[in-house]
């Protein structure tokens, strides 16, 4: 695991995702989209019905979170990551359509890790329990789809220097597995 800090900006391209390694710390800036279970289900239902997603997914990053309402004077309330494995049934299809990054917490399935390698995408980890601190990196936020889902609506966030770790890279490396192995030595 490296201690180097990289700055990356959305949308992500293959050269950027290919340069990232599991264990690296990154600061992400640009636009990202929030989506959790219910929104992912709608994404797939829409695609199955021949429709289009509410945003162009190519090169984009989805953050698995349901932000709290913004307190007075703030852009956003607490916006910590949710458990990513709940989106594993949907993620490979979205990755095949051009999704280049996902942010959440916890391990990903083998199917997701395979899709990341095949389509040169990455899975980034946000620190669970740090939602209030992560919210400080959000400079703008707007609901763009599925407003009826409340906090699980799809939002477009503009972030500046969102602190993350590369968990799964395009080379098949997995920080969770490598971390455990490093302590076994």
The reply to whether omega before 59 is within 30° of 0 (cis) is no
Number of domains in the chain: 1
Average pLDDT for residues 149-155, to the nearest whole number?
94
Six token digits for residue 172? 């098949």
Interval 23-75: pLDDT, tens: 999 999 999 999 999 999 999 999 999 999 999 999 999 999 989 989 999 99
Write down the pTM of the prediction. Answer: 0.94
Q: Domain containing 144 — which CATH number? A: 3.20.130.10
Confidence of residue 1 (pLDDT cuts 50, 70, 90): very low
Per-residue CA distances from 37 to 59, 74, 97, 154 (Å)? 21, 26, 18, 11
3-state secondary structure of 61: strand
Q: 30 is in which domain, residue-wise?
A: 5-184
Lowest mean pLDDT among 70-74, 98-102, 119-123: 70-74
Confidence of residue 181 (pLDDT cuts 50, 70, 90): low
């Amino acid at each position: 695991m490296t201690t180097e800090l990289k700055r990356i900006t959305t949308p992500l391209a293959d050269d950027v995702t290919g340069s990232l390694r599991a264990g690296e710390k990154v600061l992400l800036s640009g636009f990202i989209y929030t989506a959790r279970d219910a929104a992912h289900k709608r994404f797939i239902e829409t695609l199955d019905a021949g429709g289009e997603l509410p945003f162009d997914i190519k090169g984009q990053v989805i953050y698995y979170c349901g932000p709290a309402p913004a307190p007075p004077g703030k852009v956003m309330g607490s916006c910590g990551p949710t458990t990513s494995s709940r989106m594993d049934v949907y993620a490979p299809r979205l990755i095949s359509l051009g999704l280049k990054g996902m942010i959440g917490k916890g391990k990903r399935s083998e199917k997701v890790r395979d899709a990341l390698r095949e389509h040169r995408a990455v899975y980034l980890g946000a620190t669970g329990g740090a939602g209030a601190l992560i919210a400080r990196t959000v400079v703008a936020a707007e609901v763009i789809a599925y407003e009826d889902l409340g906090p699980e609506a799809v939002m477009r966030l503009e972030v500046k220097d969102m602190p993350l770790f590369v968990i799964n890279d395009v080379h098949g490396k997995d920080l969770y597995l490598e971390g455990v192995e490093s302590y076994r030595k």
